[in-house]
Amino acid sequence: MRETAYAKINLALHVRRRREDGYHELETLFAFVDQGDQLTAQAAGHDTQETVGEFGGALTDPFDNIVMRALGALPRPDGLAITLEKNLPVAAGLGGGSADAGAIFRMVERAHGLPGDWRERAAKLGADVPACVDSRACIGRGTGTELEPIDNDLAGMAVLLVNPRVPLSTAPVFKAWDGLDRGPMPSGSVRDIALGGRNDLEAPAIAQCPVIADVLAALLEANPLLARMSGSGATCFALFENDNAMRAAAERISTAQPGWWQMQGKLR
């Protein structure tokens, strides 16, 4: 079996309040790019994982391996030998680990089906994992696990992801949020919400990682439909009306900043 772990982006991310349990009450619009990590699986006597790819070396903690935890969360009659090609940067606001777990859930679903409580099992692995299992545009509330489907009128739009190759952990960015409720996420279509929304984590992320502002400025120079930081950063994205505009922006940014990571794709 082979699955793509589709890169997650937040077209809007509104932080409403801090909760007593230490988490934050969110309203977010999840969307997914048709590119990401690649996972292959073969039947085996027990579960194993091998990691390769550009960012494979960043996954060095055997006790924080979400692929193996996802496998352990799902009952199966036999094991799977997983090869993970890590193409997405780590700690980048793209839900890379959650996307990998989502791909595991889809593999197990194809082979054996999923238990009725799979959403609860996915949420225990991470707040983004339930959304990443389907990897389709949806609205997330609560900690991001209360999902509402939405038709994606931006599906097929060209998207450029850019990361300055600076990892940025989620917890410190949320901790640095100023606590101000700037209002709810707008309603309407995906386009309406994306254009009328915001990412409340941009300011605290830029304060810790100033180069994010440079990435956003470079994307905005290309006059996209929208440029915004994803999640807690440091990856930023831009949406373009056509592939040519996206490729031209990618080339300009690559020439000016050859050290920055890029990925080109389309919204699912």
> Which of these, 16, 19, 22, lies nearest to 181 by C-alpha position?
16
Among candidate residues 37, 47, 100, 128, the one labeled active-site is 128
Residue 195 CB-density burial (10 A; 0-12 exposed, 13-18 middle, 19+ buried): middle
Rounded Cα gap, residues 18 and 65, in angstroms: 28
> Which of these, 61, 41, 89, 20, lies nearest to 233 by C-alpha position?
89
Gyration radius of the chain's alpha carbons: 18
To the query of whether residue 175 is one of the catalytic residues in this protein, the response is: no
Q: Spell out a b/e string for 118-148, using b for 16 or more CB atoms within 10 Å of the CB, else e.
A: bbebbbebbbbbbbbbbbbbbbbbebbbebe
To the query of whether residue 86 is one of the catalytic residues in this protein, the response is: no
Residue 179 CB-density burial (10 A; 0-12 exposed, 13-18 middle, 19+ buried): exposed
Among candidate residues 8, 47, 86, 100, the one labeled active-site is 8
Rounded Cα gap, residues 206 and 199, in angstroms: 12
> Which of these, 216, 195, 196, 197, lies nearest to 205 by C-alpha position?
216
Rounded Cα gap, residues 164 and 86, in angstroms: 17
> Which of these, 127, 131, 122, 119, lies nearest to 143 by C-alpha position?
127
Q: Which residues are catalytic?
A: 8, 128
